[in-house]
Structure 1
Amino acid sequence: MIKEASIILMLSTLKTIGLSAPLDVHSREFTSHSNGTVSVRLPGTETIQSLQPVQFCGEFVPLRQSNVTRRWVTVLLKQSRHRDYLLRLRKRAVKFFPVIEPILAKYNIPKDFKYLPLVESDLSGTSTSPKGAGGYWQLMPQTARDNGLIVRHGLDERRDLYKSTVAACRYLRELHRELGSWTLVAAAYNSGVTHVQNRIDQQGIRSYYNLRLHRETSTYLYRVLAYKELLTRPRMYSDMLSPAVLADLTRPLPGERFQPGVEPIIRTSGEPGPEPEPTWGPRSRNLLEEALAQISGESDDTSGASDAGSTSMTASPAQTPTAMAGLLGLRVLRFRRTRLWQVFLAAKRKMQPLFDWDWV
């Protein structure tokens, strides 16, 4: 009777949050394809979700393994149910990621680690765990001191975003020297390097996805990846997201420097070509200057008389109609969403612009 009552209570709880069945995927409910994608039937529904390849720090998640796919879909479903929480994290990420990313790059830490503070502290500097970990990166007091932070009564530098990120990078670099794998580094950051190393020695396995770890640690990396995917590629998971959640995750935010839902470029290690632009923070390329230089170069090839750095709008025999049209188009005023939003507020119109206008 107690067991039956527990099952009834669990099902009623799931219904209250919009689910009619437990968040669990069985092996018979997904199919692997030769192109690396996996089709999954979402639990309790007839909806088929196509899962695209996912990677953490360049290491692909082995979605062809049934236990990995089951855990990944379960975590994705759980994380995607919290609409207000996801939107709050996204707004904080817009503010804090531009500070975190350059520090990670300086210490040669993969940029995927910027999602760790979302899991650790919800990107809140005042967060403190029952075990004493605190700050944005939830560093233990001694670990923080070992990596150059001051932690004492009245002064806790773990609450400083810049200083705590530097300390976390030093700690992550030390973990990587010991373990040699960024996925294992993420696991060790959660449970400690001793626990991970002991499990490796006991089981003879060096793959995070196959190691038997503590329950929290076994899903830790999946939670990090869930935030990464939901904040950068939400449209890839449209079948498992409610329309309201998908709208929140794809609506442009003030100060956001990427278009939500666009699938980032995934390159193999030996494939030539420029690195993709970062999804957060300032752009490394000035597209306007590149376009102007290209147009000026075409003019030089045509007559050799025009100056490559000239930006004159006056027509000349050296400038082709194509070049003039390009220069004219590049000088159209750039309207930003924040400015449009202020105009709408001033006019007291309850309308939100749909796009972040760029050069037209």
Structure 2
Amino acid sequence: MSQGSNFVDYVKICCRSGHGGAGSAHLHRDKLTSKGGPDGGDGGRGGHVIVKGNAQLWTLLHLKFRKHVIAGDGEGGRLSLQTGKTGRDEILEVPLGTIAKNSETGEVLFEITKDGETQILTPGGRGGLGNWHFKSPTQQTPRFAQPGEPGQEVWNILELKLLADVGLVGFPNAGKSTLLSVVSAAKPEIADYAFTTIVPNLGIVAYRNNRSFIMADIPGIIEGASQGKGLGFRFLRHIERNSVLLFMIPADTSRTLKEEYQILLHELKEYNPELMDKPRVLAITKSDMLDDELLAELKNEVPANVPSVFISSVAQKGIDQLKDLLWKEINR
């Protein structure tokens, strides 16, 4: 399977939590006691459906074919004030950056951002109280107990937003996948036609002194992506989680660098104005094709308010300079 078919960033799951066990209505009896008081224990709570962060995962693929998740029921209370056993919890491990939503209302329930972090997605029913809770001066031998609470059955959505240090932003065919394949061990599909990347690719970029950062190649933005054209919305959400945005514009663009940059900015702003607050770096790609005269001309076109660098992934030109710029922005 290629990396493409392994990347799953959205699953819808039916979660059924366990029923709480019923309380016991037992009255104490033994050799010496023929008419003892109430000693029925409480029922155990039903199992929860729990979501747990796992830093080793980067996709929801393992949950794709798991349509129903069913936690165990709690056991009933027992004599001698013994509480019933708690139902078995179901734990779903997810990558960091996963958001849980209620599928009917679309309400965001929580987000998992740390390794080992746990959140209850669907709580189990509470166990019923045993009869000894209902003992009173006027009713010394209650012969009743509480039933357990029923569990819940809810359809939930788990949605992944990639947590990367650098997100690559550019039109299709701007050289994003080529850059990722050069600076990391990721093996994205690469071809010289638009829309080769149809799933996000993640790569770990090695930096000086054994340090590293994570780069995400997100499918190319096209004009109108913020209205949901092309692969629009589905992939723009991954950019929300990146701490630095690397804008990539090819040197052979038919528009000016400023125009191309403004269109990319406009698409991001339309989708989510908060993205405009993120640090940005501009890379002009495919610059191995430029002679000195053209290079000087293009340098005058570069927008002034953003750190920029001319690179060529194929000729390995400007790559170290780019890494330095990105590292500086990530750790600012």
- Give the alignment's TM-score, normalised by structure 2: 0.23
Higher strand share: 2
Q: TM-score scaled by structure 1? A: 0.22
Name the structure with the higher helix share.
1
Name the structure, 1 or 2, with higher relative contact order (CA <8 Å, separation 6+): 2
